[in-house]
Chain A
Amino acid sequence: MRFERSKKDKVLFIIGLLLAVGLIGAGCVGIKSTPEGGSGVAVAGGTLYVAPVLRTAGGGLGCEPQPSVGKLISMDTSGAQQWEVSLEPSARAGGGFGCAPASVPVAIYGTPAVNGGLVYVGGYNGIVYALNSNSGALRWVYPRQGSLQPIIGGLVVAGDKVFFGNSDGKVYALDAETGDKKWEFATEDKLWSTPFVDGDTLYIGSFDKRLYALNTADGSEKWVFEAEGAITSTPIIYNDALYFGSFDRHLYAVRVEDGSLKWKFMGGNWFWASPAASGNNIYAGCLDGKVYVVDAESGSEVAEINLERPISSSPAVVGGSVIVATEAGKVYAIENNQRRELRTLEAKVLAPLYTSNGVVYVHAENDKLYALNVQSGAELWALSLSGK
């Protein structure tokens, strides 16, 4: 009796152990348990600003301790580092179990914004940091105490204000000099997209499936456009229309003056990245692995370029070329509706691309920043942002 009972207990114990290991394994492998971030590149006055990916070296297996201190790095256009600052995390209320870290990591997803001697970044820990763009010295943080919900999108500076959307569903406008809050506007769901400011109007898409046009002076609503899916892509303006993608698989064109629908075009999956405009065409990278080239006026399809892997990185336009990177790490130049492979990187690319002076800057998930020649795709330099 004792023998069999103990055998049964052993069986149950092994099952329990397998269960725990299986679930923890499933939890920590394949699924990210903590945010890692990794921003796009901002260039101002010959200086690059970028926030690296938070990742333990060589890892990912099991519940390895995840770094939580964020970084912002400044370098010149040759890749020589100027300064690096650490951004401290805020404490997580009641956290620390299992794979969850005890503090909210300062993972930075949004591209930094630079203006008037300050560089602004928003972290997943819900804090906006304003730093001196020359030295990296901290000027102010918002909020002064505590933190907001995670900030996923980038910040935009226009006039004397800095704007951003937050996961709490609110658009915030802060005084660019002091960090004091000027106004806030509440939407009905998360805001992960970077706002776009044109003149006195701010445009931002929300998870509540709406695109909002707000007055930058006081945050009052000008108009609202309702899509059928959530919106994370930043809208662009081209020929008096706004272009943006949605999770409902549509690329939308909306009139700037009143927010009425101009046309909509259906792709094969989500439009996560922002589109680009060139030569009266809209280039929209889709998570179905295709770039749709659509006539900006009529919304009719001009071309469909299959890049084979999802495109979540926003493209960049240089002259007549549209530079696109896929999640597989391949960088293409699209010219005359034909793709030309520029480079295959060693890691996937999620962050938006940036071009300046014939160079395209690509921040890949291996935490390397690549500077590629726009014409040839030649690697001008590659810098490991984690310093390894």
Chain B
Amino acid sequence: MWWDIIAVKPMINSLIALSSFLSGNLGLSIILLTIIINFALLPLVLKQIRASKAMQELQPKIAELQKKYSKDRQKLAQEQMKLYRESGMSPAGCAVPMLIQMPVWIALFQSIMRLVAIIPENFLSLSQYLYSWPVVYTALPLQNNFLWVNLAGGDIFLAILVGGTMWVQQKMVTPVTTDPQQEAQNRMMLWMMPLMFGFLTLTFPGGLSIYWITSNIFRIIVQYFISGWGTLFPKTVTKKATKEKKPKKLMAPAEQTSVEQTPVEKEAVTEVVAVSSAEGEKVTSEGTGDKRPYRGGYPAHLRDVRRHPRRGKGRHPKRG
């Protein structure tokens, strides 16, 4: 079967070969293989993190659109899609790495269930998945236990660890929002996935849970190095950022806009300034699809935020 050839067999033989260098410890070999897989998927993971970050930065503009077209949902959708298109991003882009990882999870699950000698029929079928490498034959059987974990069974502590690490990772990428409804949706998403995976952990082999935990920790580390703690510790980040970077050029227009904006809009703008500063990144107009180089002063996305209300609502006189 093609699935066995391209996914299950390589996974099984890799785990056995790695185990042979790790005293037959299947748990350690799962961790090592997870790290290797995550490094291989790193470009996709980075893309996802950047997409999430770009999504965060679009929040003020989206908030504006939402306010502007609050009574015309069709127009709102069109404008949002236009905004995403202009920014060169897709909301579904955030989920692609997860989709790509699904075959890895399934292959790993099938590999673990065959590798752990629990049910004779499964273990017997393992023989048909082995390459002719001598090490593969002498390394078997592998140890079913790793720390306190039975790699073939569910475990409540693993469920907590899977859910906990996933929550931390989700929290780091959850966008800041001032919309209560969106906030509620974000909160639901923040809890739904960790709870679902936590429940799955109780059902599926501990080896798969070790994969999830290692993957989550890997992504937390990557996420941290790219965009800091994000919304996991928002107050700390904002204060620190405000203290470290408070250029007058940046603040002056913001003060001007405060006259033009509602308090909610102003708050959103201030938050974005803080987050962008905290990340210490080079502020360009790349995220909005504007190819003009950054020449100091007001960041591109905030310039856009300022412009939109004027065009949309027409409450303010046009300049020049």
Cβ of A314 to closest chain B Cβ, rounded Å: 13
Q: How many residues does chain B have at the interface if contact means C-beta atoms less than 8 Å apart?
A: 53
Say yes or no: is B127 at the interface (Cβ < 8 Å to chain A). yes
Q: Give the dominant DSSP class at A's interface.
A: loop
A residues near B181, Cβ cutoff 8 Å: 2
Interface residues of B in 21-51 (CB under 8 A from A): none
Given contact pairs A3-B76, A5-B182, A229-B138, A23 touches B189 in the complex (Cβ within 8 A): no
Given contact pairs A5-B182, A32-B121, A34-B119, A18 touches B91 in the complex (Cβ within 8 A): no
Task: Give A345-380 as 1s and 0s: 1 = Cβ < 8 Å from B's Cβ atoms.
Answer: 000001000000000000000000000000000000
Interface-centre pick from B127, B182, B188 (highest chain A CB count, 10 A): B127
On whether the beta carbons of B204 and A287 are closer than 8 Å, the reply is no
Given contact pairs A8-B91, A310-B128, A1 touches B119 in the complex (Cβ within 8 A): no
A residues near B156, Cβ cutoff 8 Å: 94
Q: How far is the CA of A31 from the CA of B107 in the complex (A)?
A: 11
Say yes or no: is A186 at the interface (Cβ < 8 Å to chain B). no
Say yes or no: is B65 at the interface (Cβ < 8 Å to chain A). yes
Q: How many residues does chain A have at the interface if contact means C-beta atoms less than 8 Å apart?
A: 54
Task: Give B70-99 as 1s and 0s: 1 = Cβ < 8 Å from A's Cβ atoms.
Answer: 000100110011001000000110110011
A residues near B188, Cβ cutoff 8 Å: 9
Given contact pairs A15-B98, A31-B122, A229 touches B185 in the complex (Cβ within 8 A): no
Q: How far is the CA of A247 from the CA of B99 in the complex (A)?
A: 37
Task: Give A33-47 as 1s and 0s: 1 = Cβ < 8 Å from B's Cβ atoms.
Answer: 111100000000000
Say yes or no: is A145 at the interface (Cβ < 8 Å to chain B). no
On whether the beta carbons of B102 and A272 are closer than 8 Å, the reply is no
Q: Point out the residue from A32, A228, A230 that lies within 8 Å of B119, measured CB to CB.
A: A32
On whether the beta carbons of B95 and A248 are closer than 8 Å, the reply is no
Q: Point out the residue from A5, A22, A272, A350 that lies within 8 Å of B185, measured CB to CB.
A: A5
B residues near A22, Cβ cutoff 8 Å: 102, 105-106
Task: Give B260-280 as 1s and 0s: 1 = Cβ < 8 Å from A's Cβ atoms.
Answer: 000000000000000000000
Say yes or no: is A252 at the interface (Cβ < 8 Å to chain B). no
On whether the beta carbons of A16 and B203 are closer than 8 Å, the reply is no
On whether the beta carbons of B137 and A27 are closer than 8 Å, the reply is no
Q: How far is the CA of A108 from the CA of B130 in the complex (A)?
A: 27
On whether the beta carbons of B119 and A15 are closer than 8 Å, the reply is no
Say yes or no: is A6 at the interface (Cβ < 8 Å to chain B). yes
Cβ of A316 to closest chain B Cβ, rounded Å: 20
Task: Give A81-107 as 1s and 0s: 1 = Cβ < 8 Å from B's Cβ atoms.
Answer: 000000000000010011110000000
On whether the beta carbons of A4 and B62 are closer than 8 Å, the reply is yes
On whether the beta carbons of A207 and B124 are closer than 8 Å, the reply is no
Q: How far is the CA of A317 from the CA of B233 in the complex (A)?
A: 74
Q: How far is the CA of A100 from the CA of B203 in the complex (A)?
A: 8
On whether the beta carbons of A27 and B109 are closer than 8 Å, the reply is yes
Q: Point out the residue from A23, A192, A269, A350 that lies within 8 Å of B106, measured CB to CB.
A: A23
Say yes or no: is B110 at the interface (Cβ < 8 Å to chain A). yes
A-B contact pairs, 18 of them (CB 8 A): A1-B65, A1-B179, A2-B66, A3-B76, A4-B80, A9-B189, A15-B99, A27-B204, A31-B109, A32-B122, A228-B138, A247-B137, A269-B127, A270-B127, A287-B124, A310-B127, A310-B128, A350-B121
Q: For the complex of A and B, list the 9 residue pairs with the smallest distance between their C-beta atoms, beginning with the closest.
A: A98-B203, A1-B66, A287-B127, A8-B91, A26-B106, A31-B113, A97-B203, A270-B127, A97-B202
> Which residues of B approach A to under 8 Å, CB–CB?
62-63, 65-66, 73, 76-77, 80-81, 84, 91-92, 94-95, 98-99, 102, 105-106, 109-110, 113-114, 117-122, 124, 127-128, 130, 137-138, 140-141, 153-154, 156, 179, 181-182, 185, 188-189, 192-193, 196, 200, 202-204
